[in-house]
Amino acid sequence: MKKKNVFVVGCNGKMGRIVRSLISESDDMDTTAGFDQHQGGVIASYCSENLRNNPNAVFYNTDVIVDFSRPEATMEILPYAVKYRIPMVIATTGFTKEQELELKSAASLIPIFKSSNMALSTKRFISLVKSAAKLFPEPYEIAIHEDHHSGKADAPSGTAKMLFDAVNEGRNGTLVYRFDSSGKKAENEVWVSSGRLGSFRGDHIVTIAGESDYVQLKHSISDRALFAEGALDAARFIMQQTEPRIYTMDDLFNE
């Protein structure tokens, strides 16, 4: 079986290195090259100038792009993915509204798999939280807290936002998202808080509280490889898709 060629965005970062390591151990993929703002990785890593000067050499044999980087790097690679019709897996978070519109536009031309969290267990946790929001209707109130390592750039995390979307769906879209803790909380608000400390890989706690009791649901990840494994599963999936659109974990697990 011929191996598929993977271009890794963020190839020299923590997640990029794990992705490359898992690819090297796989039977069906090879890392062809990558892009990172920080050069010096052990694979061929192209800077912006090299991409502009000779993109054919970089992308000609690329089967899929896996992106664990920052929004500015994603947006630099996106036009090449569109030009060469290469499907993408995007695990990067923190996009602006304008950047989200650019991603949506690109997805009208190529298949894009996009998720703020690539772990299957997180997907299951989010489904559980959605069900809990239904099981504990008003007057029960809901709050979300997440902890990540101190180097994480965006807050709240993309997963925290996904959790809010889940509880909001569970409450029929009646809730309002709020990321601060000043003033008095409105009845329909869900406060989302963040901690940035230590080496947390990702802790998320959803609290559902009534006047006399409360329920807490918690999900913790101790190994970043879980995200990388999910991203490679997504890469295998997205290479089989022919319809240009944005795909999610729901598509991958047929839910």
Selecting among 4, 114, 130, 148, the annotated active-site residue is 148
Secondary structure of residue 205 in the 3-state scheme: strand
Annotation marks residue 219 as catalytic: no
Annotation marks residue 123 as catalytic: no
Which tokens belong to 119? 């772990």
Secondary structure of residue 214 in the 3-state scheme: strand
Q: Is 182 exposed, middle or buried (0-12, 13-18, 19+ CB in 10 A)?
A: exposed
Q: Cα 213 to chain center, whole Å? A: 33
Which residues are known catalytic residues?
148, 152
